[in-house]
Amino acid sequence: MDNFSDMWKDAHGVRPCEWTMESYSFMDKAERLDWKVALQQDIDAQLQADSDAHDEAVITCIKAGAGNMATAERWLRQAERNF
């Protein structure tokens, strides 16, 4: 069923349940498009939040003594591997 299931998983972290898929299958083309637009907005908001959090972490590392962006990025990669 087109890419709806993939978009749902990107937005919510899990595949849509049977009820959701059934509801989607009964929608007309305009309703499906509306749902996909809403899912894409959720995905975009999450990507922006992730980007903002990463930027904040880089700034925090620089303030903590990293000295520059390259070192801050390296510290974050090291912390991610050790977490």
With H, G, I as helix, E, B as strand and everything else as coil, classify residue 15: coil
- Asked, for residue 64, whether it belongs to a domain, the answer is yes
* Residue 60 belongs to a domain: yes
Whole domain around residue 71: which residue ranges? 44-83
- Whether residue 83 is contained in a domain is answered as yes
Q: Is residue 20 part of a domain?
A: no
66 within domain boundaries: yes
Look at residue 2 in the predicted model and tell me its pLDDT.
73
Q: What is the pLDDT of residues 4-63, one digit of tens each?
A: 999 999 999 999 999 999 999 999 999 999 999 999 999 999 999 999 999 999 999 999
Q: Is residue 7 situated within a structural domain?
A: no
Q: What are phi and psi of 45, to 5 degrees?
A: -65, -40
**Overall average pLDDT of the 59-77 stretch:** 97
State the Cα–Cα distance between residues 63 and 47, nearest whole angstrom. 24
The pLDDT score that the predictor gives to residue 1 is 56
H-assigned helices in 1-28: 4-12, 18-25
In a domain, 10, yes or no: no
Phi-psi bin for 14: left (phi > 0), alpha (psi -120 to 50), beta?
beta
Give the count of domains, the chain: 1
